[in-house]
Chain A
């Protein structure tokens, strides 16, 4: 008897009538043996996103969703694409049910294949990546940019399975093990490309981390003040969002750099000058922020800049004293 997994659906922001149709279709399919869970809020980890393409909320979620996440779009002009299927609005329950049933079968096959690939004794492919890399940061960035699926081995450390499509890293080891692997020179790593169809979403008994979390650590550990190829120090940039420092190795200077780049677009040269953080550290921070998609390039600098706030020196002194008082232990 084939083993099937429950498929997790996330359906944020659907109109009431569409939600009722979805609930009904899922209930009918579950009664027929196809098991779904339905979450009405956005879940990044869901196997399937069901969205109204014509609602503001649906478009926003679609824009921010993972590329590898399968989407079912409700649309008055349905168009399909990679990992995207569409259904005509207004939604007919039977049509939706049949479509979900087909998706269930297809996605089960993908999940089964992924699980088999990850638990196989040998890698899916023995083909080397062939990618020229100097360190783990280069390698991980390449995996993410080209949506590769790679196996990375380092002597005496647990293997990393890196999925650039779903932006995840699976390993049986701890985060400390991952950091040690990141610090390993590239010439001591064994890298193998896995089947391009493989995804990590169905893995079990492995610790799964976001690829961005590992990329951030790799950028800080490996950049050593060397700016990414093609990037310049005189182009103004801004942060789109704060990095999630709680998931990464914390460095106090990064708070200062993040606060300044979140407020105003600055060139890296200006950022180093204004923050008084060493240039090499600014570059490491920039590389990390760029690699996790937090950097926004600014063309019209003067229009974007907020007026400088005149800071009271007494106030700055107080804030500095509080920061000193609340310095991290150790």
Chain B
């Protein structure tokens, strides 16, 4: 069934760059629900998203495509499926500075497995330049073992073109 509210979901762990990625392609700065971090996330950044990020792009004829970012912390995972419901597809952002990026990727693939099966997913490997714990080939090797073929690109969440290529790949999958 074709959904009336068109939305693309961005997910991933704290600090992966979801808010930044949405902001780099949207027309307005994301409306966020950021609060000061009080848990271990404060070691990564000062503020974090607790409910969702939201912004949009407008197509030629006026249709809005909504861009939603899920909260990063796993204790807010009840929000994930609510946000994903009716979505066009999933953008998973993984921070290559994370101690185990491969496990992070698998966690989000598993958490959204039903949604991904119905739609599709792309994976962006973001970096902050501090550490380099994984490369694209390692994520692809794990996907190969899982018998899944998804695009995995290195992206700078601040770069509009990088995020656009990621979303374009998602659209290419969905169009097949």
Query: Contact size class for A?
Result: 35 or more
A179 to B103, CA, bound (A): 35
Q: What residue in chain A is nearest B160 (Cβ atoms)?
A: A329
Residues of chain B lying within 8 A (CB to CB) of residue A315: 2
Binds A, one of B28-36, B45-53, B75-83, B161-169: B161-169
Residues of chain B lying within 8 A (CB to CB) of residue A239: 149
Binds B, one of A153-161, A187-195, A218-226, A317-325: A317-325
Main secondary structure of the interface of A (DSSP, over half): helix
Known A242-B140, A314-B2, A328-B161: A252·B60 in contact at CB below 8 Å:
no
Known A255-B168, A312-B2, A326-B164: A319·B174 in contact at CB below 8 Å:
yes
Say yes or no: B172 contacts A256, CB within 8 Å: yes
Say yes or no: A328 contacts B164, CB within 8 Å: yes
Residues of chain B lying within 8 A (CB to CB) of residue A44: 135, 137-138
For B142-170 the 0/1 string (1 means CB < 8 A from A) is: 01110001111111000011101101110
Say yes or no: B168 contacts A326, CB within 8 Å: yes
Say yes or no: B154 contacts A247, CB within 8 Å: yes
Say yes or no: A244 contacts B136, CB within 8 Å: yes
**A250 sits at the interface (CB 8 A):** yes
A44 to B57, CA, bound (A): 39
**A120 sits at the interface (CB 8 A):** no
Known A241-B143, A263-B176, A311-B175: A322·B65 in contact at CB below 8 Å:
yes
16 contacts between A and B (CB under 8 A): A41-B102, A41-B133, A242-B140, A244-B137, A244-B154, A255-B168, A258-B172, A259-B173, A309-B176, A312-B2, A322-B171, A323-B172, A325-B57, A325-B59, A325-B60, A326-B164
Which of A241, A312, A321 has most chain B Cβ within 10 Å?
A: A241
Residues of chain B lying within 8 A (CB to CB) of residue A247: 136, 154
A64 to B141, CA, bound (A): 7
**B113 sits at the interface (CB 8 A):** no
B168 to chain A, nearest CB (A): 6
Residues of chain B lying within 8 A (CB to CB) of residue A324: 60
Q: What residue in chain B is nearest A330 (Cβ atoms)?
A: B161
A312 to B150, CA, bound (A): 22
Residues of chain A lying within 8 A (CB to CB) of residue B57: 322, 325-326
Say yes or no: B140 contacts A241, CB within 8 Å: yes
B171 to chain A, nearest CB (A): 5
For B63-81 the 0/1 string (1 means CB < 8 A from A) is: 1010000000000000000
**B97 sits at the interface (CB 8 A):** no
Q: What residue in chain B is nearest A63 (Cβ atoms)?
A: B141
Say yes or no: A246 contacts B168, CB within 8 Å: no
Say yes or no: A246 contacts B154, CB within 8 Å: yes
Residues of chain B lying within 8 A (CB to CB) of residue A262: 149, 173
A318 to B64, CA, bound (A): 11
Residues of chain A lying within 8 A (CB to CB) of residue B63: 318, 321
Residues of chain A lying within 8 A (CB to CB) of residue B88: 319, 322
Say yes or no: B165 contacts A246, CB within 8 Å: yes
Task: Say which residue of A42, A242, A311, A328 sits within 8 Å of B169 (CB atoms).
Answer: A242
B28 to chain A, nearest CB (A): 15
